[in-house]
Chains A and B, each alone.
Chain A
Amino acid sequence: GAVVSQHPSRVICKSGTSVKIECRSLDFQATTMFWYRQFPKQSLMLMATSNEGSKATYEQGVEKDKFLINHASLTLSTLTVTSAHPEDSSFYICSAKTGGHEQYFGPGTRLTVT
């Protein structure tokens, strides 16, 4: 139980284009989903917290117009990187939780912007 999937697992896009990453909770309803960014050999950096049906809360320094988050249902959240640039290349990980304290992580999406 408590499986979270992400799609795609890897994506390469050209500079200036937008890319959407999906995060799904497969066997539970996620009231809250988190989006993290991880640079090579570094820890996770929380980008934003999204609750179903409401606007995402972004961490300081994260541009909400660049990283659009939509938590449309209790099992799906999407992160859209708009007008991507090479510096947006990173490993993006989502996690999901219900009302308890445990969060369950997706397998991550490797984004490369050329």
Chain B
Amino acid sequence: GEDVEQSLFLSVREGDSSVINCTYTDSSSTYLYWYKQEPGAGLQLLTYIFSNMDMKQDQRLTVLLNKKDKHLSLRIADTQTGDSAIYFCAESTRDSGTYKYIFGTGTRLKVLA
């Protein structure tokens, strides 16, 4: 079945860039997403990219998509302590007008002051 995988942990120093990686298996993905989850909270949509795009930049966030390798990454520039959270990538596919979503395992980002 479809699968979305991420590394479990990432630790960076404040001010450095963070790069969180994600691989997926479903080549028919329509959109790919990055969500942030802080402790005890729901998921906050950070950004998404359409599957025919290679890159999307939104302020400190840069999303890169390599569709050939089925690889998605999220780069956070000038990482701050407030960026410490779990980051989930997700993909959506569309089947008969219905969207289906698959979430990755989540990457716990720890930002060291």
Contact = CB atoms under 8 A, between A and B. Distances in A.
Nearest to A6: B42
A50 to B, nearest CB: 12
Interface in B28-76: 30-31, 35, 40-45, 48
Interface stretch (B13-21, B77-85, B101-109): B101-109
A103 B103 CA distance: 12
Given A101-B31, A101-B92, A43 B44 contact: no
A102 B48 contact: yes
B30 A101 contact: yes
A46 interface: yes
Nearest to A36: B103
Measured as residues with beta carbon below 8 angstroms from the partner, the interface class of chain B is: 20 to 34
Interface residues of A, number: 20
Nearest to B33: A102
A48 interface: no
Contacts of A28: none
Interface of B is mostly: strand
B40 A110 contact: yes
Interface in A1-59: 4, 6, 34, 41-44, 46
Contacts of A102: 45, 48
B43 A43 contact: no
Given A43-B88, A43-B105, A107 B99 contact: no
Nearest to A93: B42
Nearest to B102: A46
Nearest to A46: B101
Contacts of B104: 43
B30 A93 contact: no
A43 B106 contact: yes
A42 B43 contact: no
Closest 4 CB pairs of A and B: A105-B42, A105-B43, A107-B42, A108-B42
